Every structure is written in structure tokens, then in C-alpha cells.
Amino acid sequence: MSHPKTSSLISPSLLRRLEQLSFLCRKRARSSHKGERKSLARGQSVEFADHRNYVPGDDLRYLDWNLFGRLDRLFLKTYEEERELPLHLFLDGSRSMDFGEPSKFRVAQKIAAAMGVVALSGYDRLLLNVFPENQESALHRHALGQLRGKSSIPTLLEHLSHLTIGEGSSLNQVLQQEAQRCKTQGTVIILSDFMDARGYEKGLKAWCGKGMEVHAFMILSPEELEPTLRGDLRLVDCEDGTSREVTFGRHRLKAYKATLQRYLEQITSFCQRHGIGFHLVPTNTDLESWLMADLRKAMLWQ
């Protein structure tokens, strides 16, 4: 297994910087596992939360004697337990992601690696879901299970670096199925081009309905955002293999850009209405700068 410092997905210098970050969760973790996130549960941890009235039978070690001296009443100190933050990371490996140079899938792999390093460095629980799932990824997923701790970083990077594009899948179906299985709150990150004719709305709503903090990262190539092709072309749908002969001139190019702009406005508006963080990521983005600066400004991590 490769050491993370030799991974093709993350440079050694970026790895060290990512290990110093931690996810910001606007919704407190409710996981049943101990970690480093403030929970709604009350316990006896190192983080003071509040006082409550003493009830016979309470542990006398947690009485606030200073408060008793001032008010002549018994109060018990309560503390916030620290729980881990489950991070559900969805990586789109459908055929439409195999486009551009570097490909959208390659960029998604690098972002997934970065997200995973931050989560595991903060002792959060990482649940990686790569779709569509082929035989190879299914075996890897079974072996990976749920990753925890910095010692799992080499395993994660090794797994991500060997993933390949799979055959068609439904983004809605994958997200809905996994949301139904999920029992704890946390953060959900979807890395995809969101170019699925069957939509994305039901899948994203399924996670929002569970009280999750959801972030959608739409990864597109410069050729998709600003196409320059002209002339007689044969366009092939990479998902179903169907093709169509078209003449791509100035008017068709203008129509394409207008359609894309409407789609971007639609998905942006949808995410805003449902409290989902939306991030457009061109594949020619300087990822290191984006990870360390832009995502901090977006309050994803600190």
C-alpha cells in the first residue's frame, strides 16, 4: 500500500496542510461514537456547558461549590460530550465524468482525497460511496467499511487512486437509497457533474429531510462551460451511447450557452432554497488554492 506522501492525488505539502484543518458543522453532531465534535448530549467531558439544579443521587463531584457559596443553593455542572461527525462522501464515477483533461473524474478523485484527509485527521467517521458501483469498487467498499482516524489515510488514498469509471447509474436513486440507510446526522458531500437526465432533486431532498448538512460540488470542464467547437459534428451521449449529427455554428453555440446558464441558475436556486451549499468547480481550478482559501471562505472547514 502506498504511503499518503507518495499518493498521486495529494502532494506531501498539501497533505500536511490538510491535516491541520477540521470540518465546520453548523449542526451539532448526534453520533453515538466519541469524537471531537460538540454534541447535544450532556456528559462529563472537558467542555463546560451549563448548570442545572442538584437532584438527590447526582454525582457530588460535579457540584459547583463556588456558586453554592454565592447563592446558598446546589447546582450541578454539566458538560458537552464530544462526538464524531459522520461524513458521507459521494463520488460520481459515471461515464459523463470521463471527459476533459484532466477529466472531471480525476479532479473529483483529488477533491475526495482532500475531503477524506481532513475528516480522518479530525477523527471523524468517513463513509465513501462511489457510484456506479462495479465489481472492483464493490470489493474495495466492503474492505473499507467505515474509516476512522489518521491511520486510515493511506487506505483511503490507495482506494481512491485505483478507482475507474463505471457504467450508468441514477444520482437520485443512489442518494435516496443511502439516505434511507442512514441513522445518524452529519455532513453529506456530493462530487458530480450533475449531468443526469433523471435529475438530482429527489436525492438531495432525501438527505435534507434527515437534517443533514449537504454540500453539492458540481465539477465541469472548461470545454463544457465555454465550448469552442464549430462545424459538422457527431455528438455521442457517453451515458447511453446514442449519437446525433449536428452542425455546431454560432447560433447553436449561443443556444447551448443559454441552456447551460439556465441549468446552473436552476441548480443554484434549488440548493439555496433547501439550505444546500453549492460549489461550481471547473476542472482547470487551482485545487490547492481553492481547497485552502475558497473552502475556508465558504465555511466548509477551518
The residue with greater pLDDT, 76 or 197, is: 197
Per-residue pLDDT band at 299 (split at 50, 70, 90): confident
At 208-233, the pLDDT tens digits run 988 899 999 999 999 999 887 765 65
pLDDT tens figures, 147-194: 888 889 999 999 999 888 887 778 999 999 999 998 888 899 999 999
Task: Say yes or no: 8 and 120 in one domain.
Answer: yes
Do both 251 and 188 map to the same domain?
A: yes
Write down which residue in 83, 107, 123 finishes a domain: 83
Same domain, 149 and 275: yes
Residue 239 pLDDT: 58
Are residues 186 and 146 part of one domain?
A: yes
The answer to whether the beta carbons of residues 70 and 107 sit under 8 Å apart is no
Using CA atoms, how far residue 153 sits from 123, 148, 157, 160, 188, in Å, is 11, 9, 6, 11, 19
Q: Do 107 and 79 share a domain, yes or no?
A: no
Q: Do both 75 and 131 map to the same domain?
A: no
59 three-class SS: coil
pLDDT band at 26 (very low <50, low <70, confident <90, very high): low
Give me the domain span that covers residue 101: 4-28+84-297
In this structure, are 18 and 54 located in the same domain? no
Number of domains forming the structure of the chain: 2
Mark whether 10 and 63 lie in a shared domain. no
Q: Are residues 146 and 62 in the same domain?
A: no
Distance from the first to the final alpha carbon of the chain:
30
Residue 114 sits in a domain whose CATH number is: 3.40.50.410
Cis peptide before 102 (omega within 30 of 0): yes
- In angstroms, the CA 36 to CA 22 distance is 10
Instruction: Say which residues have a Cβ less than 8 Å from residue 115's Cβ, sequence separation at least 6.
Output: 87, 89, 189
- Identify whether 132 is preceded by a cis peptide bond (ω within 30 of 0): yes
In 10 A of CB 197, how many CB atoms? 8
Q: CA-to-CA distance for 118 and 10, rounded, in angstroms?
A: 12
Last residue of a domain, one of 49, 83, 117: 83
- Range with the lowest mean pLDDT among 6-20, 112-126, 131-145? 131-145
User: What does pTM read for this prediction?
Assistant: 0.78
Is 302 inside any structural domain? no
Distance (Å, rounded) from C-alpha 216 to C-alpha 271? 8
% the chain with pLDDT above 70: 75
The one-character DSSP state at 30 is: -
